[in-house]
Amino acid sequence: MKAEIITIGDELLIGQVIDTNSAWMGEELNKIGIKINRITSISDDRDEIISTLKEASKRAHLVLITGGLGPTNDDITKKTLADFFKVNMRFDEKAFEDVVHLFSIRGREVSAINRFQAEVPENCTTLYNKVGTAPGMWFDEADVVYVSLPGVPYEMKYLMENEVIPRVKQRFKTPFIVHSTVLTFGIGESFLAEKIAAFENALPDSIKLAYLPSAGSVRLRLSGSGNDEQEVNDLVRHLTNQLSEIIPEYIYGYEKDELPKVVGNLLKLKGLSLATAESCSGGFMAHLITSIPGSSAYYMGSSVTYSNESKTQLLNIPASLIEKYGAVSEPVVLAMVESAKKLFKVDCAIATTGVAGPGGGTPEKPVGTVWVGVSTPDETKAYLLKLGDNRLRTIEVAALSGLNLLRKALLKK
């Protein structure tokens, strides 16, 4: 069983709009055991649409089309589908009632152009759209199912959830697919690959392993497929546990966990409060923490001290200490983290000081040198990181590393 998505619209090709629909559709179909084999984005051009449909129909059993169903002139998907199937259009009374109803609750009048929106190719099953004016369409021709949906994300989602997914489940027999994602931090992709080489080489054919890297972290995704739901579930769960036992010190979560949320949940669980003192991370650690709804329950704030004077004024770091060791040093980061704890009257604190670059590096402390201080009720420690010469990456990894080091310190207890 093969499936493809075709997205139609010039705005996707010139980068004006990012195609988020395909990712959402791919994820939803994957949950019912259908893997998308190909996504094709093309111009809203009749010939281009027809040739792409012809190619897809040779490869796939299910072809999902989005875009090109709105009321304006550049929307031509519907007419092109009628040409592709060599059929006429018919007026769908019920689809028109939906349009009239939608306009009435929005206090608008129906125009001539909206009447055209209720026309569909005569060989389709209409998928009625309660949240927009363009109906979806389902075609079942020569053993291939074609589904055409509007490109507006919430209309597409409404029709997928209420009309398409139930019909697809009924129409196709699909294998059972399970994914499990293990989230690691603080180890590069190649080192991770070496550590789990034996595990990876021993994986059965029904299981695939993917490495998905981003700043400071690598997500490991195990995907299993088969016909026996119980069997696939058990195998993926067993392998996830096995993987977790090989690299426990690098794992901060599973599936869609986020590091700031994981740390927040730990703090809430232990009834502890947090503050930060940031130099090189420049407020980004505070931003990561406060991005999480409800973070005000455990997070008191941050002293972002971007100059030596502000470190002295706000955090009471002695000017002599900065002069003796430099602002980027172990004694200063330890003084910062202790001071944040006192100042905000909290149980835990994280501090950063480093050379984000591009200027400010020296032979002893090159750009990318970062000290992170972490303090819990049990211990206060400093860590030295070397993060390279990309300023924004250094800021991001310094902030995330601070959170991860606090997480590890809290788990020691």
Per CB under 8 A, which of residues 229..258 are in contact with a second copy? Answer: none
Give the long-range contacts of residues 36-39, CB within 8 A, separation 24 or more: 36/3, 36/4, 36/5, 37/2, 37/3, 37/4, 38/4, 38/5, 39/4, 39/5, 39/6, 39/7
Q: Which is nearer to a second copy, 84 or 284 (CB)?
A: 284
Q: Which is nearer to a second copy, 386 or 413 (CB)?
A: 386
Indicate the DSSP class of residue 297: G
Smallest separation (angstroms) from a second copy to the CB of 378: 24
Candidates 228-236, 245-253, 257-265, 391-399: pick the segment binding a second copy (CB under 8 A): 391-399
The tokens describing 325, both together, are 């060791």
- Element holding 55 (H helix, E strand): helix 46-59
Contact 370, 352 (CB under 8 A): yes
Residue 138 binds to a second copy (criterion: CB under 8 A): no
Residue 330 binds to a second copy (criterion: CB under 8 A): no
Options 88, 125, 190, 227; binder of a second copy; rule CB under 8 A: 190
* CA 76, chain centre distance (Å): 32
Handedness of CA 98, 104, 107, 110 (dihedral sign): positive
Residue 179 binds to a second copy (criterion: CB under 8 A): yes
Residue 359 binds to a second copy (criterion: CB under 8 A): yes
- Chain positions 76 to 105 lying near a second copy, rule: CB under 8 A, are 102, 105
Residue 227 binds to a second copy (criterion: CB under 8 A): no
Residue 272 binds to a second copy (criterion: CB under 8 A): no
Which amino acid is residue 378, in one-letter code?
D
Smallest separation (angstroms) from a second copy to the CB of 269: 20
- Chain positions 281 to 310 lying near a second copy, rule: CB under 8 A, are 282-287, 289-291, 293-296, 299-307, 309-310
Options 1, 32, 38, 61; binder of a second copy; rule CB under 8 A: 38
Smallest separation (angstroms) from a second copy to the CB of 87: 25
Candidates 15-23, 77-85, 163-171, 318-326: pick the segment binding a second copy (CB under 8 A): 15-23
Residue 70 binds to a second copy (criterion: CB under 8 A): yes
Mode of pairing for the β-strands spanning 89-91 and 119-121: antiparallel
- Helices 308-315, 330-343: axis angle to 10 degrees equals 40
Options 20, 170, 230, 320; binder of a second copy; rule CB under 8 A: 20
Within a 10 A sphere around the Cβ of 361, how many other Cβ atoms? 16
Smallest separation (angstroms) from a second copy to the CB of 32: 12
Q: 3-state DSSP call for residue 63?
A: strand
Indicate the DSSP class of residue 184: E
Q: Which is nearer to a second copy, 91 or 306 (CB)?
A: 306
Indicate the DSSP class of residue 135: P
Residue 363 binds to a second copy (criterion: CB under 8 A): no
Distance (Å, whole) CA 106 – CA 86 = 36
Residue 13 binds to a second copy (criterion: CB under 8 A): yes
Candidates 7-15, 76-84, 375-383, 402-410: pick the segment binding a second copy (CB under 8 A): 7-15
The residue count of the chain comes to: 413
Residue 198 binds to a second copy (criterion: CB under 8 A): no
Within 8 A by CB and 6+ apart from 338, the residues are: 349, 375, 380
CA neighbor of 381 nearest in space, from 401, 366, 365:
401
Residue 58 binds to a second copy (criterion: CB under 8 A): no
Residue 113 binds to a second copy (criterion: CB under 8 A): yes
Mode of pairing for the β-strands spanning 3-8 and 125-127: unpaired
Distance (Å, whole) CA 130 – CA 164 = 14
Q: Which is nearer to a second copy, 144 or 314 (CB)?
A: 314
Q: Which is nearer to a second copy, 140 or 179 (CB)?
A: 179
Distance (Å, whole) CA 149 – CA 166 = 15
Candidates 82-90, 120-128, 189-197, 238-246: pick the segment binding a second copy (CB under 8 A): 189-197
Please work out the total of residues on this chain that contact a second copy, with binding judged by CB under 8 A: 112
